[in-house]
Structure 1
C-alpha cells in the first residue's frame, strides 16, 4: 500500500516550502540570480541543503517558482493601478508608472526579472512576465482605439513594442549605484506619443477636431 502523507506532515512540508521561497526572494533581491544558490537559500531559511532539494530539483526550478510568485504579485499591482484610472491614456501610463516605481524600490530583484542571465526554466517565466504586462497594455490600447482616443493599430504589436522599450530603458536605472526615477515621465510621454495619442485623451468630435479639455 503506497505511503500517504498525513495532513500534519503535508502542512509541515508546505510551510517549509513557503519558508524556502521567502528566503529565495530575499536573496534574489539582495544578490540577484547569481547569488541565489541552493546552499545560500538553505542557509537563509535555516535548513539543510537537502531540504531544498526535497522541494525543488534544482536552483533553476526553485527560482522559476519564485519568479511565478513575484510575477503574479507585480502583474496584480499593475492591473489594479491601470484599472483604477478613469482616462484611457492614464490607464496606459499607470502601467508604466506602477511597474517602474515598484522596480526602482527593489532594483536588484527587478533586474533579475528583466535582464540578468538565467537558466532556461527561469527564462520561460521571464517571457510569461513580459507577456502578462503586454496583455494589460494591449487591453488598454484596444480601449483607446474603441473610444477614438488612439488611432487604429494592432494592439498586441504596439503593446509588445512598448513593454520592450520600457524594459530596455529601465535596465540603466536598475543597474546604477543609485536608482533614479527621472526616466519614468519620459517613458510615459513616449508611450502615449508612440501610440498616436496626446496628453488630452478626449475622443475626436464629429468635425474631425477634438473636444476641448476640461480644466
Structure 2
C-alpha cells in the first residue's frame, strides 16, 4: 500500500528525532528517509518547524492517551493518590525506555514553535494531575490544597527528575526502577498522602 508523502515525511522526522534528536532531523535527512526530494517537504509543511510541531503533537497525544489509560485501567477500588502516582510513574517509565525521544520532548533546545507546544502539553499533563488531586481532596484522601499549583509542581518536578538521566551527556544514571520508585515516593509525600 502506498503511504502518502505527508505521512512518510512525518514518520521520517519522528524516527530521526527518536534516534538522535531534533538536531539530526535536517530537511535533507528527513527527505532522504522519506524517499523524496528535499523541496517536497515544503509542499506539505510551511517550514521544518511546522513539521516538528506536528510530530511533537502526535507523540504527546499518544503519551497522554497511554497515561490516561493506565489510570483508567486500575482496579476499581484504587485510590486517587494511587491513580496520580500511576499517571506520573507511567510517564517516567515510558520516558526512560526511549531516552532520546523523551529528551527531545522534554528538554532539547528547540524552535519557539515547538517550545510553545511543549508548554501547552505541560498544561495538559498538569490538568490531568489536578483533576485527580481534586477528586482525592473531595474524597478526604488528601489534605486541602490548591490542586492546580500542586499539579504543576508535580509535572515540573517529574520532568526535572527525568532531564538529568535522559540528557545525552549524562554520566552516571541511576537505574530506571530506582528513578521511578523515588518519583512514586516523592509524589505521595508532595501531595500529603498518609502512606509514603
Same fold (TM over 0.5): yes
1:185 and 1:62 map into 2 onto residues whose CA distance is 36
- Quick check: 1:104–1:179 contact (8 Å CA) kept in 2? no
Secondary structure of the corresponding residue to residue 4 of structure 2: helix
Q: Does 1:59 find its partner at 2:48?
A: yes
Query: Which residue number in structure 1 is paired with residue 13 of structure 2?
Result: 24
The structure with the largest alpha-carbon Rg is 1
Query: Which residue number in structure 1 is paired with residue 92 of structure 2?
Result: 100
- Quick check: 1:89–1:199 contact (8 Å CA) kept in 2? no
Using a 3 Å threshold, how does the CA distance of structure 1 residues 110 and 184 change in structure 2: closer, same or farther? same
1:35 and 1:22 map into 2 onto residues whose CA distance is 14
Give the 5 Å matches for 1:196-215.
196-199=192-195
Give the 5 Å matches for 1:159-198.
159-175=151-167, 176=170, 180-181=175-176, 182-198=178-194
Query: Which residue number in structure 2 is paired with residue 154 of structure 1?
Result: 146
> How far 1:158 sits from its partner (Å)?
0.5
1:93 and 1:134 map into 2 onto residues whose CA distance is 13
Q: Does 1:89 find its partner at 2:112?
A: no
Misfit runs of 4+, over 6 Å: none
1:131 and 1:40 map into 2 onto residues whose CA distance is 32
Provide TM-score, normalisation by structure 1. Answer: 0.83
Long gaps (5+) in structure 2:
none
Provide TM-score, normalisation by structure 2. Answer: 0.91
Query: Which residue number in structure 1 is paired with residue 35 of structure 2?
Result: 46
2:22 and 2:194 map into 1 onto residues whose CA distance is 39
Query: Which residue number in structure 2 is paired with residue 111 of structure 1?
Result: 103
Report the number of matched residues. Answer: 188
Long gaps (5+) in structure 1:
1-11, 201-215
2:88 and 2:120 map into 1 onto residues whose CA distance is 17
